[in-house]
Amino acid sequence: MSSRAWSSYLLPHRSTDTLAIARLILAGLSGAILSLSYRGSFPSLYSWFCLAVLLSSALRARPLVAFACGFLHGLLFVVTCVPWIAETLSVHGGMSLAAGWGVLLLIASIWGAAIGLFALCVLRISQRSVSLALFAAPFLWITTEVFRAYLPEISFPWALLGYPAAENPAIVQLTTITGIYGVSFLVTAFNALLLWSDTGPSEDRPRRLGILAGVLVLILVVLWVGPQFVPNAKAHHLARVVQPNFPENQQYVGDWYTDHQADLAELERMSLEPASSGKSPDLLVWPEAPAPFSFQDPRFAPFIEHLSSEIHHPMVVGIIEWKRNTGEGNVPSRVAFVPYNSATLINEKGQRTFSYDKIHLVPFGEYEPFPLIHKVVNSVSEEVGGFHKGRARNVGEFSNGNTFSVFICYEAIYPGEIREFVNHGAQLLINVSNDGWFGTSAAAEQHLRMARVRAVENRRWLLRDTNSGISASVDPYGNVTRVMRRDTRDAADLPYDFRTDKTLYARYGDWFAWMCVGVSVILVLLTFRKVK
C-alpha cells in the first residue's frame, strides 16, 4: 500500500533523525495554528485541516515519535489557545506568575499526553491498515475529549474541536442528537478523509479524490445554505439583565457596602428604570460578581428584598451562601460556617424561593482539586480554594408555574451536566458568570460560544448574565442577542421564553461520545490479535 503521499509533500526525505524532527515541528505547528480557530471571529477553517497535518506527522513514524507529535500538538495548542489561565491565576488567584504558568503547563501536559496516546493508537492501527487507522481517527479523537470532560477533579473540556464549526447555525443543530461531540467527530472525520484521499494505490486515487470532492461540496452547501433554514424562535418575555462591571477583588477590605454605596444606587436605578420599548421586563438578573453579596450580611438582605419588591417581578442574583460546617472537605471543626458559590431567586414579594449551590467548582481557583496537594497549593497561594461543592441540580419555579434552572460560570463547558437541569424539568436556563477574571483575553468570547451550544443541545432559551461581559440571550436554535459591550456597566432587556420539549441529547446524554469510546477500545484491542 502506498500511503506516503502526504508525507512526501510535508516531510523531507532525509535522515531518520531529520525526518523525526520535521514531524515534530509540523505536529507542534498544527496545534498552534489550530488555536487560531478559537480567537477573534472564530474562523473554523483551521479546524478542518490541522488534524490532517498531525495525522500525517504520526503515520509511519516510530512509536515514540508519534506520541511526541501528539504531545507537542496538544501542548502548543493549550499554550496558544488558553494562555489566560496563567495570567488569571497570577493576577487574580494570588499565585506568582511562575506558579500560574506551572498550572497551565500541567494542564497542557495532561492534554498533550491524551493527544499523544491518540497519535500512538492511530499509528498502531495503521500497521494493520492505513485506511482503518484513518477510519478509527474520529472515534479515537472523541475518546480524548471524553477523557478531558470526565477526568476526576481536574477535568477541562474547554475548546473542544467541534466548537469553531458549531458557530455555523446549521452545523450546530447536530448537537441536539449527539451533543458537541458529534460536531467534533464530523470535523475529525473530514481531516481523516483529507489524508485518506491522497493515500492508497495510485490507480485508486481518482476515486478517493472524487469522494473527497463530493463530501466537500456537501459540507459547503450545509455551511452556506443550511443557515437559511434555521428558524428564529419567538420570545414572549423580556429579562432585565444587569452587567455591574465591578473590579476584580482578591479580598474584601474595609466596609465594602459603604465604599460602594454609589455603585449599588446606580445598579438599583438601572434595574428599576422603565423599559425603552413598549414591553416591560418580567425578570431581573444580576450575575455572579466579585462582591460580598450574602444573605448572611445584614446590609445585603434588606437591600435586595426591597429591590425585588420595587420591581414587582422575580430577581435572580449570584451570591455567596454561608452554611454550617458539616465536617466535609477536611474543614477543621473550629470553622463554624463554610462558603458556597450560589444563585438565588427572590420573588416579587421579596421572599427567597429558590437557591442553587455551584456543583462543578473551578480547580485551583474555587477549590483545591486533591486533598493530598493541600500543602503544595497553600505554599504557592493562600487564596486558592475555599468554596464547597453543592449537591443537587435544583429546578426553580416562577409564580406563573414556569420552571428554570441556574448554572454558574465554568459549569457552562460541561454539556453532560447542563442537560441534567433540563431532565429535572427546567424550561429555561440561566447562566450567571463573572468573566472579568479573564481580562481582555479571548476567554470571555470562548466562554460565550460554549454556553451557546448548551442552549442548542437542549433546545432551551439561555439567559447569560456576566459581571463584565459577555452578557447575551441565546434562543433554542443558537441565535444570539448581545447588545452590551464588554467591560462596561450597563443593563439591557433581553428576550427569553420557556420550552418543555426534550432533544435526544437531553434525554440520552453523551451516548454518542461513549459509543465512540467503545469503538475505540475495540479497534485498539484488535491490534493485539495476531493475524493468521
pLDDT at residue 339, rounded to an integer: 86
Asked whether the predicted pLDDT for residue 298 surpasses 60, the reply is: yes
- How far apart CA 200 and CA 132 sit, in angstroms, is 12
Q: What is the pLDDT of residue 221?
A: 95
Inside any domain, residue 532: no
Based on the fold, state whether residues 73 and 118 are members of the same structural domain. yes
Task: Over range 234-243, report the average pLDDT.
Answer: 95
Least confident of 77-86, 166-175, 363-372: 363-372
Q: Do the domain assignments include residue 506? A: no
Q: Are residues 259 and 164 part of one domain? A: no
Angle between helices 50-58 and 16-34 (to 10 degrees): 160
How many structural domains is the chain composed of?
A: 2
For residue 259, tell me if it sits in a domain. yes
What nine digits make up the cell of 436? 472579568
- pLDDT (0 to 100) of residue 385: 52
pLDDT confidence bin for 310, thresholds 50/70/90:
confident
Q: Are residues 197 and 254 in the same domain?
A: no
3-class secondary structure, 238: strand
For residues 310 and 388, state if they share a domain: yes
Residue type present at position 248: E
Residue-wise pLDDT tens digits, 14-32: 557 788 899 999 999 999 9
- 4/452: higher pLDDT: 452
CA-to-CA separations, 288 to 198, 433, 491, in angstroms, rounded: 51, 5, 15
Most trustworthy range by pLDDT among 23-27, 186-190, 328-332: 186-190
Distance CA 359, CA 464 (A): 18
| Mean of the per-residue pLDDT values of the chain | 87
Report the side by side order of strands in the sheet with 396-397.
396-397, 403-408, 429-433, 462-466, 472-474, 480-481
Q: Do 490 and 521 sit in the same domain of this protein?
A: no
For residue 57, give the H/E element and its range. helix 50-58
Determine, yes or no, domain membership for 340: yes
The CATH number that applies at residue 273 is 3.60.110.10
Per DSSP bridges, beta strands 337-346 and 352-357 are antiparallel
User: What pTM did the predictor assign?
Assistant: 0.90
Domain of residue 438, residue span:
237-496
- Express each pLDDT in 104-135 by its tens digit: 898 899 999 999 999 999 999 999 999 999 99
Q: What is the pLDDT of residues 409-463, one digit of tens each?
A: 989 999 999 999 999 999 999 999 998 878 778 889 999 999 999 999 999 999 9
- Reduced DSSP (H G I as helix, E B as strand, rest coil) percent helix, strand, coil of the chain, to 5: 50, 15, 35
- If asked whether residues 448 and 390 sit together in one domain, one would say yes
Same-domain check for residues 84 and 172: yes
Same domain? For 302 and 400 the reply is yes
| Weakest-pLDDT range from 95-99, 246-250, 500-504 | 246-250
> What would the pLDDT profile of 244-293 be if each residue is shown by its tens digit?
998 876 566 667 888 888 989 999 999 998 887 778 899 999 999 888 88
Asked if residue 531 belongs to a domain, the reply is no
b/e string for 330-350 if b means 16 or more Cβ within 10 A? eeeeeeeebbbbbbbbbbbeb
- Answer yes or no: do 359 and 223 share one domain: no
Does residue 503 lie in a domain region? no
Q: Check pLDDT > 80 for residue 200.
A: no
Backbone phi, then psi, for 36, in 5-degree steps?
-65, -20
Q: Residue 384: its pLDDT value, please?
A: 42
What's the pLDDT at 153? 78
Q: Which of 2-16, 92-106, 306-320 has maximum average pLDDT?
A: 306-320
Query: For strand 396-397 and strand 352-357, is the pairing parallel, antiparallel, or unpaired?
Result: unpaired
Range name among 157-166, 224-233, 301-310, 379-388 with the lowest pLDDT average: 379-388
278 and 187 in a single domain? The answer is: no
Query: Within a domain: residue 505?
Result: no
In a domain, 318, yes or no: yes
Verify that 432 and 287 share a domain, yes or no: yes
Query: How far is Cα of residue 122 from the mean position of the Cα atoms in its chain?
Result: 27
Same structural domain for residues 38 and 125? yes
Backbone angles phi, psi at 292, to 5 degrees: -80, 55
Which set of grid coordinates corresponds to residue 335? 470553622
Split at pLDDT 50, 70, 90, the class of 349 is confident
